[in-house]
């Protein structure tokens, strides 16, 4: 098995917590705190084994470092995973115990929403810990970050459309949204307003039913047919690593622009494969930063929604410029985005 510490991306701190009383297993990854405290959401997932959970938290926390650096935020990169099936074991007691675990990190890691963690869960965690953001507006927070994550993703998608089609409008574009959870559902509503033709897929039949109730016109594609489906734009909004050796040859789209973290299974290999296939990839660390931009305003408040929204709106221009630079220099866009993030980190590091 290859070392997970290989490469130049070493983490500052990785902590395993096991609350034996309720069998709560948590891994917190702090990647880099050059720019500020480590901030990133908590993912609740039924991993096949603990090594998979560790790999996920390492990839996710590293991604947060680059995302916040690129977004111009004074935040470090961190992320946590809770191991287990959220549908079976998530309850108030567990969330309170998770809050107590966060307190042991004394604010070195600040959490928020991610897969299977909702705004109500964050409010519950906050009963025991103050190291949380993404709290309900009624509790002095900035609300669910997912809506601004979706908005930033939508703007990144429009910037990519402008680059590819010469016009940013998504009207009549065939767009496949994979994963219609919190972010995917908000994205769907924005695309619907713009008169795009949207297809969706999700592993949760409950979720699909819920979406179809609100959007009866939306077409549901079976999971197994999704990647081969004829679409202009593919929007990954579920889990990571969906751009891989199996899926890339199947894709018929011209653009990939979605909210999922770590979409490229192997950054170097699969980013290049997309580039060679002339598929424009709007880098996830750039276009899904709307949520962290929103909670940033809460952290260093008082929260101002307009300020957060204005910050999210910078994603359009940044994405367009990176994609332009990519075609001019024949460099995959995710490499340009990461270089910009590394440059900011390098400038901020003490000599
Ligand atoms: P969520 O839990 O609300 O939704 C995820 C959805 O994906 C669920 O409906 C789930 O059933 C579905 N899903 C899971 N596995 C799937 C698969 N293999 N195929 C299709 N569907 C599948 O999570 P979310 O908060 O909407 O986050 C979605 C993605 O966006 C994640 O990768 C997350 O890390 C990323 N992200 C979220 C935010 C945010 O503000 N919530 C911010 C930045 C990035």
Residue 129 pLDDT: 98
Spell out where the chain has E strands. Answer: 13-19, 24-32, 38-39, 42-45, 76-83, 109-110, 174-178, 197-201, 219-220, 233-236, 255-256, 280-281
Same domain as 172, residue 111: no
Atom of ligand 1 at shortest range from CA of 239: 32
**Residue 51: CATH number of its domain:** 3.40.50.10860
Q: Alpha carbon of 52 to those of 58, 81, 141, 206, 219: distances in Å?
A: 10, 11, 32, 26, 33
Same domain as 163, residue 267: yes
- Cα separation of 81 and 111, whole Å? 11
- Are 39 and 68 in contact by the 8 Å Cβ rule? The answer is yes
Same domain as 107, residue 157: no
Mean pLDDT of 247-261: 98
Mean pLDDT over the full length of the chain? 96
Whether residue 302 has a cis bond before it, omega within 30° of 0: yes
Q: What global pTM score does this model have?
A: 0.96
Q: Is the pLDDT of residue 112 over 80?
A: yes
- Structural domain including 187 reads 146-289+316-342
Same domain as 279, residue 174: yes
Same domain as 174, residue 126: no
Q: Determine, yes or no, domain membership for 336.
A: yes
Q: Is the pLDDT of residue 349 over 90?
A: no
- Cα separation of 136 and 213, whole Å? 25
Same domain as 196, residue 333: yes
Q: Using CA positions, which residue lies closest to atom 17 of ligand 1? A: 203
Active site residues: 79
Distance 112 CA to ligand 1 centre (A): 14
Residue 350 pLDDT: 76
Q: Using CA positions, which residue lies closest to atom 34 of ligand 1? A: 261
- Domain-ending residue, one of 132, 160, 180: 132
Q: What is the pLDDT of residues 9-36, one digit of tens each?
A: 789 999 999 999 999 999 999 999 999 9
Q: What is the pLDDT of residues 124-138, one digit of tens each?
A: 999 999 999 999 999
Mean pLDDT of 262-288: 97
Q: Is the pLDDT of residue 351 over 80?
A: no
**CA-based nearest residue to 185, from 259, 280, 243, 289:** 259
Q: What is the pLDDT of residues 319-334, one digit of tens each?
A: 999 999 999 999 999 9
Token digits of residue 342: 């590394």
Give residues (CB < 6 A) around ligand 1: 113-116, 145-146, 149, 178-184, 201-204, 207, 223, 237-240, 259-261, 288, 291
Distance 207 CA to ligand 1 centre (A): 11
Beta bridge partners of 18: 25
Same domain as 324, residue 237: yes
Distance 330 CA to ligand 1 centre (A): 31
Q: Determine, yes or no, domain membership for 7.
A: no
Q: At what angle do helices 333-348 and 50-70 cross, to 10 degrees?
A: 80
Please choose from 111, 185, 238, 246 the residue to mutate so as to test ligand 1's pocket, defined by most ligand atoms within 8 A of CB. Answer: 238
Residue 111 pLDDT: 98
Residue 262 pLDDT: 96
Same domain as 272, residue 155: yes
Q: What is the pLDDT of residues 137-194, one digit of tens each?
A: 999 999 999 999 999 999 999 999 999 999 999 999 999 999 999 999 999 999 999 9
Q: Are strands 24-32 and 13-19 parallel, antiparallel or unpaired?
A: antiparallel
Please choose from 144, 239, 264 the residue to mutate so as to test ligand 1's pocket, defined by most ligand atoms within 8 A of CB. Answer: 239
Dihedral pair phi/psi, residue 114, rounded to 5°: -155, -160
Distance 146 CA to ligand 1 centre (A): 10
Residue 309 pLDDT: 98
Same domain as 152, residue 103: no
């Amino acid at each position: 098995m290859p070392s997970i510490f290989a490469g130049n991306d070493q983490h500052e701190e990785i902590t395993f917590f096991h609350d034996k009383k309720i069998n709560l297993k948590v891994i917190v990854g702090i990647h880099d705190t050059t720019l500020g405290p480590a901030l990133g959401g908590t993912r609740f997932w039924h991993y096949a084994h603990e090594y998979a959970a560790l790999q996920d938290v390492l990839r996710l926390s590293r991604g947060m470092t680059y995302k916040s650096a690129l977004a111009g935020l004074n935040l470090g990169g961190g992320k946590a995973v809770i191991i287990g099936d959220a549908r079976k074991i998530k309850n108030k007691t567990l969330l309170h115990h998770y809050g107590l675990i966060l307190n042991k990190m004394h604010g070195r890691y600040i959490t928020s929403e991610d897969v299977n963690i909702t705004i109500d869960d964050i409010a519950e965690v906050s009963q025991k810990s103050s190291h949380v953001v993404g709290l309900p507006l009624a509790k002095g927070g900035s609300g669910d970050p997912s809506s601004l994550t979706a908005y930033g993703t939508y703007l990144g998608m429009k910037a990519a459309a402008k680059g590819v089609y010469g016009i940013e409008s998504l009207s009549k574009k065939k767009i496949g949204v994979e994963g219609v959870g919190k972010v995917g559902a908000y994205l769907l509503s924005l695309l619907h307003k713009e008169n795009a033709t949207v297809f969706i897929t999700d592993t949760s039949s409950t979720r699909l039913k819920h979406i179809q109730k609100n959007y009866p016109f939306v077409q549901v594609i079976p999971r197994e047919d999704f990647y081969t489906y004829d679409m202009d734009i593919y929007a990954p909004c579920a889990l990571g690593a969906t751009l891989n050796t199996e899926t890339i040859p199947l894709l018929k789209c011209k653009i990939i622009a979605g909210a999922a973290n770590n979409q490229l299974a192997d950054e170097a290999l699969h980013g290049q494969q997309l580039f060679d296939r002339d598929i424009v990839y709007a880098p996830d660390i750039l276009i899904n930063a709307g949520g962290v931009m929103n909670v940033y305003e809460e952290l260093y408040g008082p929260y101002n929604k307009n300020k957060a929204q204005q910050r999210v709106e910078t994603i359009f221009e940044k994405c367009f410029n990176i994609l332009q630079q990519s075609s001019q220099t024949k460099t995959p866009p995710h490499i340009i985005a990461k270089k910009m993030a590394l440059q900011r980190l390098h400038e901020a590091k003490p000599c």
